[in-house]
Copies of this chain bind each other. A is one copy, B any other.
Amino acid sequence: MKSITEIFKGLELTESEYTFIQERCQKLELSKGDILLEKGQPTLSQYYVLEGCLRSFFEDTHERDHTLQFAIHDWWISDYTAFFDGNPAVLTIESIQKTTVLEFSREAQIEIFENIPKVESFFREKMEHSFGAFQKRIINDLSKTAKEKYLDFLQTHKEIETHIKNYHIASFLGITTESLSRIRREIAKH
Contacts and interface: CB of A to CB of B under 8 A. Distances in A.
A141 B141 contact: yes
Q: Which of A85, A137, A138 has the most CB of B within 10 A?
A: A138
Nearest to A175: B142
Given A129-B85, A134-B135, A138-B134, A143 B80 contact: no
A80 B139 CA distance: 13
Interface residues of A, number: 29
Copies in the complex: 2
A137 B139 CA distance: 11
A89 B148 CA distance: 21
Given A84-B132, A124-B124, A131-B131, 11 more contacts: A68-B135, A80-B128, A80-B132, A81-B135, A85-B128, A127-B127, A134-B135, A137-B138, A138-B138, A141-B141, A142-B174
Interface of A: 58, 60, 64, 66, 68, 79-81, 84-85, 90, 124, 127-132, 134-139, 141-144, 174
